Amino acid sequence: MTALTIPAMANAHSHAFHRALRGRTQQGTGSFWTWREQMYDLAGRLTPDLYHELARATYAEMVAGGIGAVGEFHYLHHQPDGTPYDDPNEMGRALLAAADDAGIRIRLLDTCYLTAGIGQPAEGVQRRFSDGSAEAWAERVAAFDDDRVGAAIHSVRAVPKDQMAVVAGWALSAGRPVHAHLSEQPAENDACLAAYGLTPTEVLAEAGVLGPRTTLVHATHLTDSDVRTIGDSGCFVCMCPTTERDLADGLGRASDLRAAGARISLGSDSHAIIDLFEEMRGVEMHDRLRTGVRGHWSARALLDCATVDGHASLGLDDAGVVTIDPASPRTAGTGADDHTAVFAAAAADVTQVVIDGHVVFDGDHGRVGRDLAAAIDKVWQ
């Protein structure tokens, strides 16, 4: 049987170090906020060398699943007490090197993260994240001198409204994309309304953040007016269905956002799963659960989310090809077409990945697993 090929996919939203949480944060009960405390514990453990090794293995898992480009939402900047490294971008350079080692293309979305909540200073491990001000963030990022670096505003919780324009302005002047978490949790919306009298979408709009170079991540809890504003601005929205259900975040409004004019990209975010085939299905399945109606998205439209629109949200061109086994236990008998790729295949069915003309994955999923185990063991030791 002829092998099935699709374009390499783009994972538009990643926190590489979260991969070490898989299988741990799923134990017991809780919410996004209890998960966050476990994530902070992990964030406090990482050195540049450990981060490089963990990210390299995580990116190799992405490549093995047919992902050729990653948007790394990077906020783990400084030493545990908040003091910059001798090279203030050492942690970011570790991620760039990890991507090179894994053979994946990267947009390092260097993230401005200044406060613990609206009006609250960074505390604890959050001191690793903060540059103190958006101006100091911009000065540090400018020292990268690497055109793979883009920008991110962590959230309305972590960047004051009056400092968001600095981040967006840097991205605009550099011709780079800017990403931001948006309305992931109802508590975020409530705090924003209390502080500003505006929804998070309205805050970003007033700060001049929205536009065709902007990607809004999650966008789960939106008003109808928010949906119209996002669509009218020409933003991308990055949906992360496997994370949004793992963290009990809620069901996003992907089809409504598309109808309003937004372009949808996909991400694996916290890496509870790294499988963009599952993320594609998740967009349709979440819309089904939300509306009680099937068939919001065609296979081709979902494949575009994972490929064309995913790359565009990172400011990158498509540059790879993925081969899928059409006769695996999941894909056998499904027709070996777009529907097979979107509604049947899984990351485990990828047999080869070629990026920029180079074979970066040859089908050895076992090697990827062994490297992940070794890297994660070091982190928790």
Which residues are catalytic, by number?
A: 218, 269
Give the C-alpha separation, 132 to 120, whole Å.
Answer: 12
Start-to-end CA distance of the chain, whole Å, equals: 46
Using DSSP's 3-state secondary structure scheme, residue 332 falls into coil
Structure tokens that stand for 345 in this block: 């295949």
Q: Tell me which residue has tokens 């009990």.
A: 248
DSSP one-letter string for 243-256 = HHHHTT-----HHH
Give the C-alpha separation, 194 to 243, whole Å.
Answer: 27
Total length of the chain: 381
Measured in whole angstroms, how far is the alpha carbon of residue 216 from the centre of its chain? 10
Residue 74 pairs with which residues in a beta bridge? 110
